[in-house]
Amino acid sequence: MIDLHTHTTESDGSLSPAELVDRACAIGLEALAISDHDTLAGYDGALERARGAGLELIRAIEIGTRHPEPGKPRGQSVHVLGYFLTRAPSPILLEWLAGIQAARRDRNSRLAARLRELGLDVRLEEVEALGRRLTGRPHFARVLVGKGYAATVEDAFSLYLNESAKAYVPKVEPLAADAIAHLREGGALPVVAHPFRLAEGNPQREREMIAAFCDAGLGGLEAWHSDHSPADADRFLALARQFDLAVTGGSDFHGEAKAGVQLGTGRNGNLAVPRAALDRMRERAARL
Ligand SMILES: [Zn+2]
Ligand SMILES: [Zn+2]
């Protein structure tokens, strides 16, 4: 059993990198990829523990991107995974990632300023204390509820944080094609995460988007995922064959932060990623 898509406290998961390694060993995982949002810090924090335990640890990352989509002014959200199977990330890629992290922090500081303009006592530091490296709107919502500015997290979003609400500040995300190209040049195998979210199951649109991503240098598709039905998995396995892409899979484990998803086995045992997939990813990455 292997799991190639997981999150730790370095992004929005609830287990620390070392705790995640311990959990992986306890359930008998052979290989684990840590793929936190926008940061490689989870891998760094887990490496020593994994070595000591004899667990094969893979350095990975997940990046939120946008792809132009008719009828959607902000484009379609696309999550891109990068797997560093044969090379460490290049300095140029690390610099690009630092830019993404800076854009997130800048958005948060503008959001805090906007809330203060509206007369709400919200400081960036108190929000960041909840969110650490991956502070975002959910953490703002919790602070707003804690201070009595909103009754619930949902209220906080509808009153202040949603795209149509009065404190909304857009987040700048890279284009999917640019992220794919940067990851590839920087030493990673770029993979579209949970592709069932691309086009709400519209097979023709999925195919068009994947073709565009292949032009940018896509290396794989996440065919197996906790939120994929068996039919989704079959469709993406077929697309991967058609476009000559590697296939990957993972639970998208977040610990307590995503109830119902188990490390290695997904939702109610709906996941079983074959070890052979990792071997094929490595072959593929060696040709990058
Ligand atoms: Zn994702
Ligand atoms: Zn994820």
**What's the CA-to-centroid distance between 85 and ligand 1, angstroms?**
20
Closest ligand to the CA of 261 = 2
Confidence of residue 194 (pLDDT cuts 50, 70, 90): very high
**What's the CA-to-centroid distance between 205 and ligand 2, angstroms?**
22
Domain that holds residue 144: 99-161
**What's the CA-to-centroid distance between 194 and ligand 1, angstroms?**
7
**What's the CA-to-centroid distance between 79 and ligand 1, angstroms?**
5
Q: Under a CB-based contact definition with an 8 Å cutoff, are residues 240 and 247 in contact? A: yes
Three-class SS state of 80? strand
The total domain count for the chain is: 2
User: Is position 167 within any domain?
Assistant: no
Q: Is the pLDDT of residue 131 over 80?
A: no
Give me the percent of the chain exceeding a pLDDT of 90: 89
Same domain, 194 and 278: yes
Q: Under a CB-based contact definition with an 8 Å cutoff, are residues 209 and 198 in contact? A: yes
Task: Report H helices in 171-258.
Answer: 176-185, 203-216, 230-242
Same domain, 62 and 152: no
Task: Report H helices in the chain.
Answer: 17-26, 41-53, 91-117, 124-131, 137-146, 153-156, 176-185, 203-216, 230-242, 275-286
Q: Is the pLDDT of residue 172 over 90?
A: no
Give me the percent of the chain exceeding a pLDDT of 70: 100
Q: How far, in Å, CA of 255 to CA of 17, rounded?
A: 11
Tell me the CATH number at 23.
3.20.20.140
**What's the CA-to-centroid distance between 11 and ligand 2, angstroms?**
10
Q: What is the mean pLDDT of residues 69-85?
A: 93
Closest ligand to the CA of 253 = 2
Closest ligand to the CA of 196 = 1
**What's the CA-to-centroid distance between 266 and ligand 2, angstroms?**
13
Q: How far, in Å, CA of 232 to CA of 67, rounded?
A: 21
**What's the CA-to-centroid distance between 145 and ligand 2, angstroms?**
26
In degrees, rounded to 5, the angle at the alpha carbon of residue 121 between the alpha carbons of residues 120 and 123 is 120
Q: Tens of pLDDT along 8-62?
A: 999 889 999 999 999 999 999 999 999 999 999 999 999 999 999 999 999 999 9
Same domain, 144 and 239: no
Same domain, 125 and 246: no
Q: What is the mean pLDDT of residues 230-237?
A: 97
Residue 16 has which token pair? 């620390």
pLDDT computed for residue 171 by the predictor: 84
pLDDT computed for residue 74 by the predictor: 86
Same domain, 85 and 103: no
Q: What is the mean pLDDT of residues 157-179?
A: 93
Same domain, 79 and 25: yes
**What's the CA-to-centroid distance between 53 and ligand 2, angstroms?**
24
Same domain, 51 and 185: yes
Same domain, 200 and 280: yes
User: Running DSSP on this structure, what letter comes out for residue 86?
Assistant: S
**What's the CA-to-centroid distance between 62 and ligand 1, angstroms?**
7
User: Running DSSP on this structure, what letter comes out for residue 178?
Assistant: H
User: Is position 230 within any domain?
Assistant: yes
**What's the CA-to-centroid distance between 262 and ligand 2, angstroms?**
13
**What's the CA-to-centroid distance between 195 and ligand 1, angstroms?**
9
Q: Which residue has the higher pLDDT, 186 or 71?
A: 186
Confidence of residue 201 (pLDDT cuts 50, 70, 90): confident
pLDDT computed for residue 179 by the predictor: 98
**What's the CA-to-centroid distance between 120 and ligand 1, angstroms?**
31
Same domain, 202 and 258: yes
Same domain, 105 and 215: no
**What's the CA-to-centroid distance between 148 and ligand 1, angstroms?**
31
pLDDT computed for residue 59 by the predictor: 98
The one-letter code for the residue type at 191 is V
Q: Is the pLDDT of residue 114 over 80?
A: yes
pLDDT computed for residue 288 by the predictor: 83
**What's the CA-to-centroid distance between 144 and ligand 2, angstroms?**
26
Q: Is the pLDDT of residue 242 over 80?
A: yes
Q: Is the pLDDT of residue 3 over 90?
A: yes
Pairing, β 72-84 against β 246-250: unpaired
**What's the CA-to-centroid distance between 63 and ligand 1, angstroms?**
8
**What's the CA-to-centroid distance between 6 and ligand 2, angstroms?**
6
User: Rounded mean pLDDT of the chain?
Assistant: 95
pLDDT computed for residue 163 by the predictor: 87
Measured in degrees and rounded to the nearest 5, phi and psi for residue 196 equal -65, -20
**What's the CA-to-centroid distance between 120 and ligand 2, angstroms?**
32
Confidence of residue 132 (pLDDT cuts 50, 70, 90): confident
